[in-house]
Amino acid sequence: MDRYYKTGEKINGYSILKVIGEGRYGIVYLAANDKREKRVIKQLKKNMLKDTRKKLFYEEKILKALDNPKFPKFISKFNDQDREGYILEYIEGKVFEDLLAIDEYEFNKDEIYKIGWQLLELVEILHNNGIVHRDIRLPNVILKKNKDIALIDFGLARIIDNKRYVKDVDYWFIGDFLIHLYYSSYKVTDSEDKPWYEELHLNPEEEIFLKKLMNIQGNYKNIEEIKKQLEKIKNIN
């Protein structure tokens, strides 16, 4: 049974402020030190540590290898009697899940293209470093105040081996992510269930773009191909 940290408890000089997330592998807290510097505390769940300890620490290995403000910095490990995990940089901003579900923000096409381009640049950095993220979802992408985006939660990230861990999975996640943004301004017109490519108001090039990302109709070989198609779409609109 996992023992949760309570508000005010300290880990390596950081006081717990609140729980900000929980998943299969860990419990995530927001914490701050005496200088009011915020950090993310990730407590790894016991049952996962027991079964898949080696896999859980891929996040540490990968974040240590990356040095880029678009990804959280790895600060340190902690081990507190029966609890362990690591301390990460806290990136200010809002996750896209909150922008859609709480703020009910409606993204226009220009914004979607800009976000899509930024996602491609992030993934290109990862792939050039031999890393596949495998979890580019709404709760794992942060929109900063300056409109730049950052990618968090590397718990499922792995080293590319072109067998089990391949680049294509990140392309699929980008497609799925962008479809959610398209749906933010979608208005239901009838009760008939239709696939997303019939419901959404997409031009032919957008449909090709998303279908190829999702591996429904062909696929992309690399980021450069994807960028060319997105540039083509941007020039049409």
Which CATH number goes with the domain that contains 185? 1.10.510.10
Q: Are residues 180 and 104 in the same domain?
A: yes
pLDDT at 160: 96
Residue 231 within a domain: yes
Q: Which residues neighbour 124 within 8 Å (Cβ) at sequence distance 6 or greater?
A: 223
Residue 5 within a domain: no
Residue 34 within a domain: yes
Residue pair 233/205 in contact by the 8 Å Cβ criterion: yes
What residue ranges of the chain have pLDDT lower than 50? none
Q: Are residues 84 and 134 in the same domain?
A: no
Q: Are residues 53 and 154 in the same domain?
A: no
Q: Look at residue 161 and give its three-state secondary structure.
A: coil
Find tokens 């990302």 and name the residue.
213
Give per-residue pLDDT as tens, 114-140. 999 999 999 999 999 999 999 999 999
Q: Are residues 20 and 34 in the same domain?
A: yes
Q: Look at residue 156 and give its three-state secondary structure.
A: coil
Q: Are residues 123 and 194 in the same domain?
A: yes
pLDDT at 51: 64
Q: Are residues 215 and 121 in the same domain?
A: yes
pTM of the model: 0.93
Q: Are residues 211 and 144 in the same domain?
A: yes
Q: Are residues 118 and 224 in the same domain?
A: yes
pLDDT at 82: 86
Q: Are residues 83 and 107 in the same domain?
A: no
Q: Where a domain ends, among 71, 89, 107? A: 89
Number of domains in the chain: 2
Residue 60 within a domain: yes
